[in-house]
Structure 1
Amino acid sequence: MPSASDDLTYSLDPVLWAKEVLGYRPDPWQEKLLRSRSKKIILNCSRQSGKSTTCAALGLHESIYRHPSFGLVIAPTQDQSSELMLKFDEFRGAVELPSAYMSTDTKLAVRFSNGNRFVARPGSEKSARSFSAVTLLLEDEASRVLDDLYNTIRPMLAVSNGRHILMSTPFGKRGHFFKIWNEQRDLFEWYEIPAEMCPRITKDFLEEEKRTNPWFEQEYHCKFLETIDGVFTFDQVSGAMSNEVEPLFGVE
C-alpha cells in the first residue's frame, strides 16, 4: 500500500502511478494523454496501438483519485465494451486498494465504496440513455458507434461538465467520428497515431500487411477511405452541394 505522500504524488501524476503501481509503461503519446485534462479528446489510432489500454488505466486512476467520478464506456458491441472493461479489471487487480476503495462489481460495472463508478455498455441507445452525471465518457471504436447513440450520450456530460474521449481506427468517410476529425478537430485535443509510433508493431509485420491487406492505410495509417458500397466518393458528393442553388420545391 502506498504511503500518504506517495498517494498524493500518484494522484497528481497518473503516468508515475501507471509505471510504479500498475507496471504499465506508456508510450510518449500515451503519457501525454494520461496527463491531459482536456474536456474533449479524439484519438485516431492504428490498430493495436494501445488506445483502449491507456484509457482503461486513465479510468481506474480517476476512479481512485477523483471524486465524484463516474466513468462510462460506450462501444458498438458488448464484446468491445467488455474488452476495455477486462483491461480495467486487470489493472484493478494490480492495485493494492486501501479499504476506502474496495468495491463490489458485476461483469460490466464496478462501484467503489467512495461512491465512484465505472460502467461499460454495448452500443444501444436504450441501454445507455438512463445514465447521467458522467464525468469521463470513453467512446471505444467510435467510428463504428451509431450516430443516434453518440447524440444520446453527449447530454450526459452537461451537468457534470465531464470529459469525452473518442478513440478509434477509421471506418470510412461517414459518421460522427469522421465528421469531427474532418470538420471539428479544432474543438478537440487530437492525436493521430500511425502504427510506426507503436514500438510493439514490427517493421516486418507492417511490410507484410502492406502487401496483403487492402485496408492497410485505414488500419495502420489512420486514413479515412471511401466506403466500398458508395456510387460516388465523399468529395464528389460534397462538391455537388451548394447553398446558392434554389431548391426545386418549397422548404417548410
Structure 2
Amino acid sequence: MLMARDIARALDPALLAVDAGIALDDWQAEFVRSDAPQTAMLIPRQHGKTEAATIKSLSVATTEPDSLILIASPAQRLSDEFVRRSRKTYGRLADAPCLIGDAARRIEFENGSRILACPGDNDGDTLRGLANVRLAIIDEASRCSDELITAIRPMLATNPRAQLVYLSTPAGKRGAFYETWFANDPDWHRIRVELGSCDRITPEFLERERKNLGETKFRQEYLCEFLDTEDAAFGADIIDAMFTNEVRPLWA
C-alpha cells in the first residue's frame, strides 16, 4: 500500500498536497508538476508561492532518495520559516516516516533526502561547499543579491534532474530576477500569477491595502509591476537613454 502511494506521488507530485489536505490552485499544481530545469514565477503577495514551493520540495524529498533541496532567501528567518512550514505539512501526511534529522534550519528524511534553509544575506560565501543540489528555490529572488544567485547556480551542475526556481514579487528594475523575467530566454519556464486569481483574498482587503500602501507600493506588491526603486535619482528609462550601442572611432 505504501509503495503504491509513493509510486503515485512520484508520477503526480501534486498528490502529496491532496494527501496533506491542501487544495492547490491551478498555477500551483502546474509548478509542482513541472520538470523544467529553470522556472521564474512572478506572484502577488499572499497568493501561495511558499505553499507551492513547500509541496514541490516535499515531493522531491520523499520520492527521490538522497536529494538535496536548498532554500535561500534575503534573510535567514525567511528560509527558516520555509523549513518550519515544510515540517508542518509533512506532519499532516498519513503514515509519514519519522524524520531522522529535524532542526530549525534542516530536515533530514529516512531516505537520505534533506531540506536545508540557507542564509541569503552573506552573498553566498558560506554555501559554496554544497554540491549535487536537486532543487534550489530562491524565495523573494528580486531581493536577493546577484552574488548569492551566482554562488548557487553551479551547485546544480552535476545533478541531471536539477531544478532552479525563482519565486518573487518585483523589487525595482534591476537584478537577476528582473533581467531573467524580461530576457525572453526560452530556457526559462515562466509562471505569472494575476491578482484576483486567489479567492482567499477579498476585494475589500485589497482596497484597504491600496489605500494604506499607496498606489506605487500596491502596484509593486499586488499587481507585480516592476517600478523604479524609490531611492533612484533617475528612472531606468532615463539612464538607458544616456547610452548607445553605436561605437564611434576615437578620432572621429
Please give the alpha-carbon distance, in whole angstroms, between the structure 2 residues aligned to 1:185 and 1:85: 31
Please give the alpha-carbon distance, in whole angstroms, between the structure 2 residues aligned to 1:48 and 1:223: 16
Cα deviation for residue 29 of structure 1 reads: 0.6
Distance change (3 Å), C-alpha of 1:83 and 1:247: farther
Alignment of 1:136-151 (within 5 A): 136-151=135-150
Equivalent position to 2:29, from 15, 20, 31: 31
Alignment of 1:125-164 (within 5 A): 125-161=124-160, 162-164=162-164
Please give the alpha-carbon distance, in whole angstroms, between the structure 2 residues aligned to 1:135 and 1:247: 49
Instruction: Specify the alignment match of 1:94 in structure 2.
Output: 92
1:8 aligns with 2:10: no
Does the 8 A contact of 1:192 with 1:222 survive in 2?
no
Name the aligned partner's letter for residue 206 of structure 1: L
Per-residue CA deviation, residues 183-228 of structure 1 (Å, 9 max, x unaligned), is 2453311111132111111111112222332201110011111111
Between 236-245 and 141-150, report the one with greater CA deviation.
236-245
Q: CA RMSD in A?
A: 1.9
Does the 8 A contact of 2:99 with 2:107 survive in 1?
no
Equivalent position to 1:85, from 76, 83, 86: 83
Does the 8 A contact of 1:142 with 1:166 survive in 2?
yes
Alignment of 1:212-231 (within 5 A): 212-214=212-214, 215-231=217-233
SS in 1 for 2:164: strand
SS in 1 for 2:182: helix
Please give the alpha-carbon distance, in whole angstroms, between the structure 2 residues aligned to 1:97 and 1:77: 33
Does the 8 A contact of 2:14 with 2:55 survive in 1?
no
Percent pairwise identity: 33
1:112 aligns with 2:109: yes
Instruction: Specify the alignment match of 1:199 in structure 2.
Output: 199
SS in 2 for 1:244: coil
Please give the alpha-carbon distance, in whole angstroms, between the structure 1 residues aligned to 2:6 and 2:113: 18
Distance change (3 Å), C-alpha of 1:98 and 1:18: closer
Instruction: Specify the alignment match of 1:64 in structure 2.
Output: 62
Instruction: Specify the alignment match of 1:54 in structure 2.
Output: 52
Distance change (3 Å), C-alpha of 1:98 and 1:201: closer
TM-score for both structures, normalised by structure 2: 0.91
Cα deviation for residue 37 of structure 1 reads: 0.7
Does the 8 A contact of 2:72 with 2:137 survive in 1?
yes
SS in 2 for 1:183: coil
Please give the alpha-carbon distance, in whole angstroms, between the structure 2 residues aligned to 1:84 and 1:225: 27
Per-residue CA deviation, residues 158-187 of structure 1 (Å, 9 max, x unaligned), is 111310010011111111111111224533
Please give the alpha-carbon distance, in whole angstroms, between the structure 1 residues aligned to 2:119 and 2:233: 31
Cα deviation for residue 97 of structure 1 reads: 4.7
SS in 1 for 2:101: strand
Instruction: Specify the alignment match of 2:240 in structure 1.
Output: 238
1:43 aligns with 2:41: yes
Between 182-191 and 221-230, report the one with greater CA deviation.
182-191
Please give the alpha-carbon distance, in whole angstroms, between the structure 2 residues aligned to 1:246 and 1:105: 62
Cα deviation for residue 66 of structure 1 reads: 1.3
SS in 1 for 2:186: helix
Per-residue CA deviation, residues 1-47 of structure 1 (Å, 9 max, x unaligned), is x543233212211222211x111111011011111111100011000
Q: Paired residues, what number?
A: 246
Name the aligned partner's letter for residue 13 of structure 2: P
Alignment of 1:152-191 (within 5 A): 152-161=151-160, 162-191=162-191
Does the 8 A contact of 1:70 with 1:116 survive in 2?
yes
